[in-house]
């Protein structure tokens, strides 16, 4: 029996029971579409995170306070007092591969204007802060070095602040808002940046001179963080070494002493986030592939039923000259066709789900050709693997017994 006849017979057998065939393929459809959707969404989220982190500047370096430890237990870094303005000045003066440096202090509180109020974050920096953090001014001006030295109560606000405190449409430039009991004059409005990869609103921010926040709000001489930018991305590692050396000298640390600060770069954050999202993608794809295995068992179950139902047909074909391998190929072909057609439908559904999900989330749509190709191979393997035993059983049926089967 030639191959074209086998395809024709297999097709007719499948079409005779359309509903059963569709239900048989359903497990494969769900499994394949789930795997493709999970892989595609995983890659899309990875690229989205990379774009978000890169938008902050690939040459960004962050110096943070080290965690405090008591009895070998980490107590966090919220009360750690290790970074000072002198550290910023030393980095700016002695680190040749560092371009910009800004101290950073922050606090949260209730912003008040008239009868309106809004909880937000107040961020303090110097005149380089906006350049390092990639913020642009939509209108107004940036505070000056003079404002920093004189502890001026001036600030720049994000669009979220304007939407909640200036809903009447008035121009915020020149107006005052209170943070606690301290009034701040708005001198600039920041360009909108939207949410970051963690879902945080980047426009819900107030930026003021770090000296004003330290003296008038926090009453401290210590800063929370130092933001730096290397001359370029390739010099980040060298810049980190220079910063560590300068701070260890400034803090008078012995050679065998641990750093009382932490230095992080965007490259490290990218590597860490890619590792996490890659692991989650593999985990979700593995979970989704379970449904594909269940779909394969469904194909095997239906093929067993089919062999039983068509026992007399198998005996008749054998009686008129069909060989055992022809019978086996026929049933193998049926199971493979069910699996492949289900796989193709699953691929289409998987890509459609990925497209709709990425558009809804605002992520880039990525088609993983490797996962599509692999899914197609897996479909063929599923049909052959789970269809082989029922096909073998059909091929080994005794023709006389089969003819007498009712």
* pLDDT tens per residue, range 324-354: 666 777 777 777 788 888 888 888 998 899 8
- Return the higher-pLDDT residue of 314 and 237: 237
The mean predicted confidence, pLDDT, of the chain is 81
Strand-pair partners of 125: 209
| pTM of structure | 0.61
Q: Give the list of residues 6+ apart from residue 53 with CB closer than 8 angstroms, or none.
A: 197, 266, 269, 270, 273
- Residue 72 pLDDT: 41
Q: How far apart are CA 43 and CA 272, in angstroms?
A: 15
- Return the higher-pLDDT residue of 169 and 94: 94
- Residue 183 pLDDT: 94
* pLDDT tens per residue, range 41-67: 888 877 777 666 666 666 889 999 886
Number of other CB atoms surrounding residue 241 within 10 Å: 13
Per-domain residue ranges for the chain? 3-53+271-404, 83-259
Q: What would the mean pLDDT of 194-219 be, rounded to a whole number?
A: 86
Q: Which segment of 18-32, 86-100, 271-285, 356-370 scores lowest on mean pLDDT?
A: 271-285
* Torsional sign, CA 277, 280, 286, 287: negative
Residues 363/45, Cβ–Cβ less than 8 Å: yes
Give the torsion through C-alpha atoms of 49, 51, 53, 59, to 10 deg: 150
Residues 327/392, Cβ–Cβ less than 8 Å: no
Residue 403 has pLDDT above 70, yes or no: no
Q: How far apart are CA 285 and CA 94, in angstroms?
A: 49
- Residue 73 pLDDT: 40
Closest CA to 134 of 210, 89, 193: 193
Residue 233 has pLDDT above 90, yes or no: no
- Residue 69 pLDDT: 46
Closest CA to 314 of 209, 201, 395, 208: 395
Residue 193 has pLDDT above 80, yes or no: yes
Q: What would the mean pLDDT of 270-299 be, rounded to a whole number?
A: 74
Q: What would the mean pLDDT of 106-113 be, rounded to a whole number?
A: 92
Residue 77 has pLDDT above 60, yes or no: no
- Residue 167 pLDDT: 86
Residue 384 has pLDDT above 60, yes or no: yes
* pLDDT tens per residue, range 297-327: 777 777 766 666 666 666 666 666 666 666 7
Q: What would the mean pLDDT of 241-267 be, rounded to a whole number?
A: 89
Give Cα separations from 405 to 205, 214, 311 (angstroms): 80, 92, 7
Residue 386 has pLDDT above 90, yes or no: no
Q: What is the CA radius of gyration of the chain?
A: 33
């Amino acid at each position: 029996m030639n191959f074209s006849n086998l395809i024709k017979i297999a097709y007719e057998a499948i079409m005779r029971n359309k509903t059963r065939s569709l239900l048989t393929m359903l497990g494969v459809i769900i499994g394949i579409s789930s795997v493709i959707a999970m892989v595609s969404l995983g890659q899309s989220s990875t690229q989205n995170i990379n774009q978000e982190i890169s938008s902050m500047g690939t040459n960004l370096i962050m110096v943070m306070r080290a965690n405090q430890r008591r009895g070998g237990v980490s107590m966090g870094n919220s009360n750690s007092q290790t970074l000072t303005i002198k550290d910023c000045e030393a980095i700016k003066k002695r680190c040749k591969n560092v371009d910009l440096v800004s101290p950073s202090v922050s606090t949260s509180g209730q912003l008040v204007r008239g009868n309106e109020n809004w909880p937000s974050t107040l961020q303090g920096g110097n005149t380089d802060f906006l350049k390092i953090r990639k913020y642009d001014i939509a209108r107004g001006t940036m505070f000056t070095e003079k404002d920093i030295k004189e502890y001026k109560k001036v600030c720049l606000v994000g669009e979220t602040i304007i939407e909640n405190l200036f809903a009447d449409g008035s121009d915020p430039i020149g107006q005052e808002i209170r943070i606690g009991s301290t009034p701040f004059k708005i001198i600039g409005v920041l360009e909108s940046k939207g949410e970051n990869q963690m879902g945080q609103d980047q426009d819900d921010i107030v930026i003021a001179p770090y000296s004003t926040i330290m003296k008038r709000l926090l009453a401290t001489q210590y800063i929370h963080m130092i933001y730096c930018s290397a001359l370029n991305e390739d010099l980040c590692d060298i810049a980190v070494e220079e910063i560590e050396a300068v701070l260890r000298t400034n803090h008078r640390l012995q050679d065998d002493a641990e750093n009382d600060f932490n230095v992080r770069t965007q490259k490290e954050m990218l590597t860490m986030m890619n590792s996490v999202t890659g692991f989650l993608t593999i985990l979700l794809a593995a979970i989704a592939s379970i449904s594909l295995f269940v779909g394969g068992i469904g194909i095997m179950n239906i093929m067993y039923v089919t062999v039983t139902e068509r026992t007399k047909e198998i005996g008749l074909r054998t009686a008129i000259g069909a060989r055992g391998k022809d019978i086996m190929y026929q049933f193998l072909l049926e199971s493979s066709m069910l699996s492949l057609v289900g796989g193709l439908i699953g691929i289409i559904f998987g890509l459609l789900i990925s497209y709709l999900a990425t558009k809804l989330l605002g992520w880039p749509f990525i088609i993983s050709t490797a996962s599509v190709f692999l899914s197609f191979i897996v479909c063929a393997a599923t049909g052959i693997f789970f269809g082989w035993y029922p096909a073998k059983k059909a091929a080994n049926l005794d023709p006389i017994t089969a003819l007498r089967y009712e």
